[in-house]
């Protein structure tokens, strides 16, 4: 019997990773802005990240298909919500990244050099 959880398929013989790229566990605060809603901003924490997506926890759900901006201390991501599921302490939300600006300190240095 196989059980799929967070991209893994477990069998009695072995576990097989089905994701296209590795995910890295993190625990960093972010502000998620739901675009097209008048600027609804939700504080949350990124749980893991890969080159094409991230998973974070929020106190509120975000509908699948909504476009969001995720701002951290030194990065800014734009993307689309793929999944939002209730948990014991809020919601687990998965986002596909469409655009990334990081680190913001490099962008600030670039801007100072141009101006």
pTM: 0.73
Res 50: pLDDT: 87
Per residue in 53-72, is it b (16+ CB within 10 Å) or e — as a string? bbbbebeebbeeebbbbbbb
Per residue in 87-115, is it b (16+ CB within 10 Å) or e — as a string? eeebbbbbbebeeeeeeeeeeeeeeeeee
Mean pLDDT over 67-75 rounds to 91
Domains belonging to the chain, first-starting first, are 22-114 (2.40.10.220)
Q: Over pLDDT 70: what percentage of the chain?
A: 71
pLDDT digits 0-9 by tens, 80-115: 999 999 999 999 999 999 998 866 566 566 656 665
């Amino acid at each position: 019997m196989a059980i799929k959880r967070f991209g893994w398929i477990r069998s009695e013989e072995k576990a097989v990773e089905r994701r296209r790229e590795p995910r890295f566990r993190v625990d960093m605060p972010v502000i998620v802005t739901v675009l097209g809603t008048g600027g609804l901003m939700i504080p949350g924490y990124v749980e893991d990240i890969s080159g094409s997506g991230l998973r974070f926890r929020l106190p509120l759900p975000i509908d699948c298909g909504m476009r969001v901006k995720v701002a951290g201390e030194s990065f800014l991501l734009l993307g689309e919500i793929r999944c939002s599921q209730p948990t014991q302490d809020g919601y687990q939300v998965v986002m596909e990244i469409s655009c990334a600006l990081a680190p913001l300190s490099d962008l600030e240095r670039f801007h100072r050099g141009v101006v």
